[in-house]
């Protein structure tokens, strides 16, 4: 079984707890706001790496329709319970089980770093989007802070810490140029890349509260310090 799949199957029961507290809700809302601003409203969305359907629900609440795909069967189960009116399926990002030109939009929140072949994932994303369709990705950025995260997560795995995302998964941290080049190589145009989330969920209080206060300034003036990167592009056409 894929190591990432096994991990998220194991923590599916506690996944939503991560975003249930004040910090979790604030962090996920902030990321969702960035991704939503890059997508068409009221369209038909595919959420790749949908987890328990948090962003699927957000997109539906703002007038759209959505389908979720995740590598973890247990995550998909929780997504179906959260949004029974939407479709959810188990699958991998490099072989999307949908016909050409099916969706108006594609989103991926906090999952792209786990994708072993990002080029294949973006080629598949391009294929299933309609002409004029838009893609928005929020994933881990390479900064002075994130350089030590893999080591911390590896240590957490060794001591058996049951926490979302904690483990040695070989995840990738992207620069602005790297993710822009990947989108361009897949054929997307109107590419935009920015940084977000200086106030990361794993920060403890009162550091998190302070980080939230200065977050807008960091994102505008010192974006290279932000924990996540948000990128968007458009499939050429009508």
Instruction: Give the pLDDT confidence of 23-55 residue by residue, as tens digits.
Output: 888 999 999 999 999 999 999 999 999 999 999
Q: What's the CA gap between 100 and 123, in Å, rounded? A: 11
pLDDT tier at 151 (50, 70, 90 boundaries)?
A: very low
Q: What's the CA gap between 209 and 158, in Å, rounded? A: 30
**Predicted confidence (pLDDT) per residue in 58-71, tens digit:** 999 999 999 999 99
Percent of residues, the chain, with pLDDT higher than 70: 88
**Predicted confidence (pLDDT) per residue in 203-222, tens digit:** 788 888 888 899 999 998 88
As a residue count, the chain comes to: 238
Q: What's the CA gap between 89 and 72, in Å, rounded? A: 9
Homologous superfamily assigned to 3-234: Vaccinia Virus protein VP39 (3.40.50.150)
**Predicted confidence (pLDDT) per residue in 75-92, tens digit:** 999 999 999 999 999 999
For the cut 60, the answer to whether the pLDDT of residue 2 exceeds it is yes
Structure tokens at 78: 């929780």
DSSP secondary structure letter of residue 120: H
19-23, 152-156, 206-210: which has the highest mean pLDDT? 206-210
**pTM value?**
0.89
Strands 189-196 and 228-234: antiparallel
- Residue 164's SS3 state is coil
Write phi, then psi, for 46 (nearest 5 degrees).
Answer: -110, 125
Check if the beta carbon of residue 193 is closer than 8 Å to that of residue 162: no
Write phi, then psi, for 13 (nearest 5 degrees).
Answer: -65, -25
Structure tokens at 206: 């009162």
**Residue of 168, 106, 165, 166 lying closest to 138 (CA atoms):** 106
2-16, 137-151, 161-175: which has the highest mean pLDDT? 2-16
Range 152-173 average pLDDT: 57
Q: What's the CA gap between 59 and 199, in Å, rounded? A: 23
Strand order in the sheet with 189-196: 87-90, 65-70, 44-48, 103-109, 129-140, 228-234, 189-196
């Amino acid at each position: 079984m894929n190591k990432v799949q096994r991990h998220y199957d194991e923590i599916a029961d506690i996944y939503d707890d991560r975003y249930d507290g004040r910090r979790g809700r604030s962090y996920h809302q902030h990321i969702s706001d960035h991704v939503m601003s890059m997508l068409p409203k009221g369209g038909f969305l595919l959420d790749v790496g949908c987890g328990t359907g948090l962003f699927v629900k957000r997109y539906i609440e703002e007038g759209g329709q959505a389908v979720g795909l995740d590598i973890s069967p247990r995550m998909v189960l929780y997504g179906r319970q959260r949004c029974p009116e939407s479709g959810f399926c188990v699958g991998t990002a490099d072989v999307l089980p949908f016909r050409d030109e099916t969706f108006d939009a594609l989103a991926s929140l906090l999952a792209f770093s786990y994708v072993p072949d990002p080029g294949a994932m973006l080629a598949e994303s391009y294929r299933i989007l309609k002409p004029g369709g838009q893609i928005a990705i929020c994933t881990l950025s390479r900064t002075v802070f994130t350089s030590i995260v893999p080591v911390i997560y590896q240590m957490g795995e060794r001591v058996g810490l049951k926490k979302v995302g904690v483990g040695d998964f070989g995840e990738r941290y992207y620069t602005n140029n790297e993710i822009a080049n990947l989108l361009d190589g897949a054929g997307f145009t109107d590419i935009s890349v920015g940084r977000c989330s200086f106030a990361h969920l794993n920060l403890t209080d009162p550091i998190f509260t302070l980080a939230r206060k200065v977050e807008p300034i960091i994102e505008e003036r010192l974006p290279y310090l932000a924990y996540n990167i948000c990128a968007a592009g458009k499939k050429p056409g009508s």
